[in-house]
Structure 1
Amino acid sequence: MSSELEKSRASIIKDVKLDLISSTAEADNELKRAQLARTFISDTITAPTKEMYAYGVLATLGDDVYHEPSTHALEAHVAKITGKEAGLFVSSGTMSNQIGLRTQLMQPPYTILCDHRAHIYKYEAGGAAFHSGAHVTAIVPQNGHHLTLDDIKGNVIYGPDVHFAPTEVIALENTLNGTIFPQEEITAISEFARSKGIKMHLDGARIWHVAAETGTSLKVLCEPFDSVSLCFSKGLGAPVGSILVGSQEFITRARRIRKLFGGGMRQTGLLAGCAAYALSNNFPLLPRVHALARKLEQGLKDIGVTILSPAETCMIFYDAPSIGTTYDEIAERALKLPEPLFLGGSRVVTHIQTTEAAVDDFLKLIADIAEEKKKAGFVKPQVNGDGKYHDVYVRRTH
């Protein structure tokens, strides 16, 4: 080997070298964990525990495009507990939803019917149109809470009229903004859909919360659907991953679509191990998460804050203008506390790493602000006959 080649290689090695681990990494991570315990922005921000990582690194080695034993075991387990034949591990909830929809949709023209607040409609970058060429009918539920069979019947498209793209998939979400979709309504919608040859997809990213809160098995919750997406990295606190479940034929096709979307992964054993740890150890923590959310809701009510969406599981939406302030003012003052709180608008989310102290400090901050505004002359608007407030501007942040 020539000296010039050796020098060139040495130079390239020097350029390529990267060390991400600082001398203060351990202390920095502990500080971050402490901050996450006081963050109400989302439940996606949870950090894997040392115990979760220790379990994950013991998982098998293997390339998941070919065969990865731990990942396949995770897929089989979640398929079993949801009452489906097979499962497919993917990197995110958005990917799981979009692969699920694309797998269900065979030949355009077609329409997906969903709630106007649905993640697949509002927060997946127009994926249904881009990936599947699908039109979306987004419905505003008449009851303001969840779609009903009447909502579906009033908007579903079927029959011979060539002016309309027929509804091929009804996509529901449970929970949606933290609220629980009544199972009897889901069953009624599913029976109607099947009578018309329409497929059912569930964005069940937080379906774990429904099972924990209602005591209803995942199998019962998922039975009305042909495909279901479930997330490990939201309420369950795993670092990465969602799973799509359905029939064996469906998942076989979905696996090809995953590859088409660039979603094939290699050494996924570590991720599967973390997800398995979350199922065993973090799922049982969800009732406490819900209790913290209810404590927040009641505390805000006691202060005089208007609740826009109650704490059915891990989220509440509240109205800052109802006490004469703004979300920005609350967030800015929260950051100035001796132990800062991290907030993101009208949505407040509790998660498995939220502390009781963080909830108490948030309620004290709101109480202090409400008292200041009252002393400054703020009077809460009167309620209309329809139960809505006058001139209240609400900014929802997701």
Structure 2
Amino acid sequence: MQRISYKFSHLIVRPHCKMAAFSTVAQQVKLDILSKTHALDNAAKRKEISRTFISDTVTVPTKEMYEYATLSTLGDDVYFEPSTKALEDHIAQLTGKEAGLFMSSGTASNQIALRTHLLQPPYSVLVDHRAHISKYEAGGAAFHSGAATTALIPANGHHLTLDEVKRNMILGTDTHFAPTEVVALENTLNGTIFPQDEIIAISDYVHSEGKKMHLDGARLWHVAAETETSMKELCDPFDSVSLCFSKGLGAPVGSCLVGSAAFIAKARWFRKLFGGGMRQTGILAASAAYALTYNFPQLPRVHALARRLEAALEEIGVEITSKAETCMIFYDPSSIGVTYDEIADRATDLPEPLILGGSRLVVHIQTTESAVDDFLSVVRQLAEEKKAAGFVKPPPTANGGNGYKDIYVRRAPKTSA
């Protein structure tokens, strides 16, 4: 016994030594993310966001939203989380569907919806070529579901039509092609409203062929606000709908997927498979609930501000390439001899800078009137300088072009979110 005791004596750690060792590890682990200027930094960030036109994803929770969120329940969403379940049930009821599922993002919501609808390859999904599912989800339909996409360019430049869907849906048994199983529409798409009568016509045809309809309704809240149409009516033509809380509504995180009870039960399984099961989501669900109650009513004001911005740009002589149907405007300043870079540079040099992103302007619930006024002042001043320097807008060319767009360096439109 003495030999054994001697042999292992070097493994004995005295209590005070153990505490000292743990204290060292704890010191290495700890982290304080709050700087001494944390409150001031947040105030500055809120100011910056009020002057940012690149997207409505940049909106941040208000103090009141945070305070409400801290009162939420403390369940585990993989098991059961009361606040999250209440949100899911409310969105399902609001949209006229049987069940809902809280997701971390719109991309997850769209991709899990497709994976749930699509059962056995080969198959394809028909979309608008500009759709988020087609362009900005990293090829998720191919990766997650093994699905091809049929991306259509609408002839009217605005939205797909029933005739285009009919002509491009892949039906039948020709083994050369992946048959269309889902038609996925987006509303709004780049801020434009998809006419509901066209959606209904497409839905009736797609369902008559035994296929499914999915809606990326990330900004469907804007459609409801602008057209004064219920969410249920807007969602009725679809088998599944994805709705975002963090874009137009200003919540920090989250989307909700709605559909039949059986569909959502399967989608919940895929959410877990994709690593999307979350734990204490009550604080996120409460933020979404606050956004529904207090931020949705602000959308008509947002739309009015976007239309004021559009009208003033047209008055200056700027070409509007996509009008302010809701919260977005696409514009081309080459009609006044100005480039996007010139506007961005001048806007950055303001005492209170503006943040811009090429041809797209997004107005959101935290955009200020003064930010819009300052942007218009920048464009107006540049237009006057160009005119004083001798710029004259060329007449339209014979083929309908304007003959000068390629002269100026232009930033690519940023429409990913």
Q: Which TM-score tier does this pair reach, normalised by the shorter chain? A: over 0.9
Task: Pick closer, same or farther for the CA change 1:111–1:51 going to 2, 3 Å.
Answer: same
Which of 230-239 and 7-16 deviates more?
A: 7-16
Q: Shift of the alpha carbon at 1:386? A: 5.6
Q: Which has the larger radius of gyration?
A: 2
- Could you tell me which runs of 5 or more consecutive residues in structure 2 were left unpaired when the two chains were aligned: 1-13
**Residues 132-171 of structure 1, C-alpha deviation per residue, up to 9 Å, x if partnerless?**
1000000000100000001101111000111100000000
How many equivalent residue pairs?
398
Distance in 2 of aligned mates of 1:8 and 1:193? 67
Residue type at the aligned position of 1:219: K
Confirm or deny: 8 A CA contact 2:97 2:258 kept in the other structure. Answer: yes
Distance in 2 of aligned mates of 1:381 and 1:6? 80
Residue 8 of structure 2 corresponds to none
**Residues 93-142 of structure 1, C-alpha deviation per residue, up to 9 Å, x if partnerless?**
11110011111111000000000000001000110111010000000001
**Residues 61-87 of structure 1, C-alpha deviation per residue, up to 9 Å, x if partnerless?**
100000000000000000001000000
**Secondary structure in 2 matching 1:87:** strand
Residue 139 of structure 2 corresponds to 126
Task: Pick closer, same or farther for the CA change 1:288–1:250 going to 2, 3 Å.
Answer: same
The answer to whether 1:364 aligns with 2:374 is: no
The answer to whether 1:37 aligns with 2:50 is: yes
Residue type at the aligned position of 1:334: A
Which of 371-380 and 160-169 deviates more?
A: 371-380
The answer to whether 1:321 aligns with 2:328 is: no
Residue 396 of structure 1 corresponds to 413
Residue 249 of structure 1 corresponds to 262
Distance in 1 of aligned mates of 2:308 and 2:102? 35
Distance in 2 of aligned mates of 1:374 and 1:391? 15
Distance in 2 of aligned mates of 1:379 and 1:9? 75
The answer to whether 1:273 aligns with 2:286 is: yes
The answer to whether 1:293 aligns with 2:300 is: no
Distance in 1 of aligned mates of 2:208 and 2:164? 16
Distance in 2 of aligned mates of 1:155 and 1:384? 33
Q: Shift of the alpha carbon at 1:325? A: 1.8
Alignment partner of 1:342 out of 355, 365, 372: 355
Residue type at the aligned position of 1:81: L
What TM-score, normalized to structure 2?
Answer: 0.94
Which of 376-385 and 297-306 deviates more?
A: 376-385
Residue 186 of structure 1 corresponds to 199
Q: Shift of the alpha carbon at 1:308? A: 0.6
Alignment partner of 2:177 out of 164, 171, 183: 164
Q: Shift of the alpha carbon at 1:338? A: 1.4
**Secondary structure in 2 matching 1:154:** helix
Q: Shift of the alpha carbon at 1:5? A: 2.3
Task: Pick closer, same or farther for the CA change 1:12–1:114 going to 2, 3 Å.
Answer: same
Q: Shift of the alpha carbon at 1:289? A: 0.3
Residue 69 of structure 2 corresponds to 56
Distance in 1 of aligned mates of 2:54 and 2:355? 7
Which of 240-249 and 5-14 deviates more?
A: 5-14
Distance in 2 of aligned mates of 1:337 and 1:125? 36
What TM-score, normalized to structure 1?
Answer: 0.98
Deviating above 4 A after TM superposition, structure 1's stretches of 4 or more consecutive aligned residues are none
**Residues 229-268 of structure 1, C-alpha deviation per residue, up to 9 Å, x if partnerless?**
0000000000000000000000000000000110000000
Distance in 2 of aligned mates of 1:220 and 1:296? 30
- Could you tell me which runs of 5 or more consecutive residues in structure 1 were left unpaired when the two chains were aligned: none
**Secondary structure in 1 matching 2:405:** coil
Distance in 2 of aligned mates of 1:101 and 1:2? 57
Residue type at the aligned position of 2:164: D
Distance in 1 of aligned mates of 2:67 and 2:133? 34
Alignment partner of 1:375 out of 388, 392, 416: 388
Residue 20 of structure 1 corresponds to 33
Q: Shift of the alpha carbon at 1:328? A: 1.6
Distance in 2 of aligned mates of 1:313 and 1:77? 25
**Secondary structure in 1 matching 2:126:** strand
Residue type at the aligned position of 1:55: Y
Residue 160 of structure 2 corresponds to 147
**Residues 175-198 of structure 1, C-alpha deviation per residue, up to 9 Å, x if partnerless?**
000000000000000000001011
What percentage of aligned pairs have identical amino acids? 68
**Secondary structure in 2 matching 1:54:** helix
Which of 184-193 and 328-337 deviates more?
A: 328-337
Distance in 2 of aligned mates of 1:256 and 1:14? 40
Residue type at the aligned position of 1:64: D
Residue 99 of structure 1 corresponds to 112
Distance in 1 of aligned mates of 2:148 and 2:326? 31
Q: Shift of the alpha carbon at 1:55? A: 0.4
Residue type at the aligned position of 2:414: T
Distance in 2 of aligned mates of 1:379 and 1:23? 54
Residue 96 of structure 2 corresponds to 83
Which of 221-230 and 385-394 deviates more?
A: 385-394
Residue 3 of structure 2 corresponds to none
Distance in 1 of aligned mates of 2:281 and 2:399? 53
Task: Pick closer, same or farther for the CA change 1:341–1:266 going to 2, 3 Å.
Answer: same
Residue type at the aligned position of 1:65: V
**Secondary structure in 1 matching 2:243:** strand
**Secondary structure in 2 matching 1:234:** coil
Residue type at the aligned position of 1:155: N
Residue 308 of structure 1 corresponds to 321
Distance in 1 of aligned mates of 2:312 and 2:400? 21
Confirm or deny: 8 A CA contact 2:334 2:404 kept in the other structure. Answer: no
RMSD of aligned residue pairs (Cα, Å): 1.0
**Residues 347-381 of structure 1, C-alpha deviation per residue, up to 9 Å, x if partnerless?**
00000011111111111110001111111222223
**Secondary structure in 2 matching 1:107:** coil
Alignment partner of 1:236 out of 244, 249, 265: 249
